[in-house]
A and B are shown apart, each in its own frame.
Chain A
Amino acid sequence: MGMTLTEKILARHAGKDVVAPGELILAKVDLALGNDVTSPIAIQAFRSLGARAVFDRNRIALVPDHFAPNKDIKSAEQAKMMREFAREFGIVNYFEVGRMGIEHVLLPDEGLVVPGDLVIGADSHTCTYGALCAFSTGVGSTDLAAAMLSGEVWLKVPETLRIVLSGRPGKWVEGKDVILHIIGEIGVDGALYRAMEYAGDGIAHLPMAWRFTITNMAIEAGAKNGIFPFDAATKAYADGRAKRGYEVVAADRDARYEAELSVDLSTLEPVVAFPHLPENTRPLSLVGDVPIDQVVVGSCTNGRIEDLRSAAAVIRGRKVHDGVRMIILPATQEIYLQAMREGLMEAFVTAGAAFSTPTCGPCLGGHMGILAKGERAISTTNRNFVGRMGHPESEVYLSNPAVAAASAVLGRIGGPDELG
């Protein structure tokens, strides 16, 4: 019996020839990740084990991004705990404010995750790296502590849902619309415990940035991981950055899939997710009149340079609506610099938007753009749960960067075609 992409990578890391769905395995990790919210608990747990060294100081990444630059005294103390741990144990990949970025954009861009890897992170959006044809999944802090010590993680081999993409996406449709459409179809637990493996000739039309957006939101369908096959685009992305050698993995022809879903990309239009679940999707043309108070472009979902270009192209030469606050958060220092070089930053600031240093900030209701009671935002982030961006009675709508930017100008949710 053949194996899926996920099964192949898991088997290789468990030292087995074959694995099957449902099997519990102990697997070697290529990289283990923690952030300023999850690392402190992992560090306390690690210390409680009395460990004197980590399994490999090159294979742990610690990124303070959620409340960094520190938003208050408590977060400063959490960040300090991370920094001191990184120094004491010689963690090579610790990223300080001024050199950091949002973890799931930073690590692949830095070449710390490579195709074929098995990566775990104490953050649910660790599934992002599947765009690189790697297996990656979110775990808890205790898992991170255990992996930092042993270099291993326990995993249940998931069933795989195969998603076949065909056709070419039309105007204003981006990676975000593909994944929101899929979540709208299958629901927030539609891929619970499963791998979402993409296939089909539609993939050729998806740039790497879009693939990262798509695998980033696998967790919003309940999935363990999302994964794309390795192709020319993956190779071009990885070859310029990979800090380690990598082995290309492909699914077997006779691999067994639990279910299959087809998406014709040419039929999609931009998608907006209504409060308070990512599955509450509507095509942009059916959104209706929804006035907004705030627009956020950023996050591990849509804070890449391609996303900023898309939003800037819409906003350039226009003004942010009087009643709207627009906040742009480039995901890494590199992207920040690039946005400066390309004149994107100027386009945003001239239009009346705020342009911030990299941080998760408002994405999780941390800081830098919290909503008051009754306020409404459209955001390129990945979650619109109750209270996600602030007050429990505020609302978050999710969209792609072009729609977010157009909405900033309109003062209500709308698309770039509505701008004169």
Chain B
Amino acid sequence: MSSGELRGKAWKYGDDVDTDVIIPARYLNTSDPAELARHCMEDIDAAFASKVSPGDFIVAGKNFGCGSSREHAPIAIKASGASAVIARSFARIFYRNAFNMGLPIFESTEAVDGIDAGDRVSIDMEGGVLRNETKGTEYRFAPVPPFMRDLLAAGGLLNYIAKRKKGT
């Protein structure tokens, strides 16, 4: 994750995108990532799952991922091929699940305002810079706390724990 520059086009949504639309409960009787990905965002945007390309971004308003604790939500997004979520703010359980799973997420009101659906976006995670290549604009995002950076670098909480266990 540390070396990564992320690049793709934007899929734009509004405020309070909840976990029930990210992955509806009727599909929670499985935890298979590929199957979850097929229904990702289905109740808000039926085209998303079939049209999203690897690397694309979900760009949304405030309180993204509110609702249930289902890790199926970040799993579905990750398995859909999307590389990150950019939002004004995130619901807290979604926030921790994303870090625990190694799905990068970014909070930036300016970036969300400055990105339209379909814009080409790139993110330099180390430099802390987000670029809207279509519009030629640039945004900085809040630095990720060191502990969370370690989680992302390890590829999520489990790998982090496994590494720590080996280290001791």
Contact = CB atoms under 8 A, between A and B. Distances in A.
B69 A122 contact: yes
Given A140-B93, A142-B97, A150-B161, A386 B62 contact: no
Contact of A365 (B25, B62, B89, B145): B25
A145 B158 contact: yes
Interface in B82-108: 89, 91-93, 96-97, 100-101
Contacts of A366: 25-26, 28
B96 A222 contact: no
A154 B100 CA distance: 10
A222 B161 contact: no
Contact of B69 (A124, A146, A154, A388): A124
A41 to B, nearest CB: 5
B93 A139 contact: yes
Interface in A321-365: 364-365
Contact of A75 (B29, B92, B101, B147): B29
A289 interface: no
Interface in B26-69: 26, 28-31, 43-44, 62-63, 66-69
A222 B66 contact: yes
A74 B30 contact: yes
Contacts of A188: 16, 63, 66
Contact of B20 (A24, A150, A388): A388
A298 interface: no
A4 interface: no
Max count, chain B CB within 10 A of own CB: residue among A38, A41, A67, A142: A142
A192 B89 contact: yes
A38 B91 CA distance: 18
Interface in A65-79: 66-67, 71-72, 74-75, 78
Contact of B28 (A66, A139, A149, A386): A66
A365 B157 contact: no
Interface string A122-141: 11101000000000001111
Contacts of A284: none
A136 B156 CA distance: 23
B71 interface: yes
A74 B20 CA distance: 19
Contact of A49 (B66, B100, B158): B158
B148 to A, nearest CB: 8
B81 interface: no
A385 B147 contact: no
A123 B25 CA distance: 13
Contact of B156 (A66, A123, A142, A192): A142
A139 B161 contact: no
Nearest to A78: B29
A383 interface: yes
B157 A38 contact: no
A386 B44 contact: yes
Contacts of A38: 69-71
Contacts of A122: 69, 71
B157 A143 contact: yes
Interface in A136-194: 138-143, 145-146, 149-150, 154, 188-189, 192-193
A324 to B, nearest CB: 24
Interface residues of B, number: 40
Contacts of B67: 124, 383, 385
B1 interface: no
A139 B96 contact: yes
B158 A364 contact: no
Given A188-B16, A365-B26, A146 B161 contact: yes
Given A37-B28, A149-B161, A386-B21, A142 B62 contact: no
Contacts of A262: none
A40 B25 CA distance: 15
Interface string B68-81: 11111011000000
B157 A123 contact: no
A122 B75 CA distance: 15
A243 B67 CA distance: 31
A163 to B, nearest CB: 18
Interface string B138-151: 00000001010000
Contact of B68 (A41, A124, A143, A387): A124
Nearest to B151: A154
B136 to A, nearest CB: 32
A67 B21 CA distance: 19
A146 B71 CA distance: 14
Interface of B: 16, 18, 20-21, 24-26, 28-31, 43-44, 62-63, 66-72, 74-75, 89, 91-93, 96-97, 100-101, 145, 147, 156-158, 161-162, 165
Given A37-B72, A192-B92, 20 more contacts: A37-B70, A49-B158, A66-B28, A124-B68, A140-B70, A140-B97, A141-B71, A142-B156, A143-B96, A143-B157, A188-B16, A189-B62, A192-B91, A364-B20, A364-B68, A383-B67, A387-B21, A387-B24, A392-B24, A392-B43
9 contacts: A24-B145, A37-B72, A38-B70, A139-B69, A364-B25, A365-B20, A385-B20, A392-B24, A392-B43
Q: What 4 A-B pairs are tightest by C-beta distance, nearest first? A: A140-B97, A74-B29, A189-B63, A142-B100
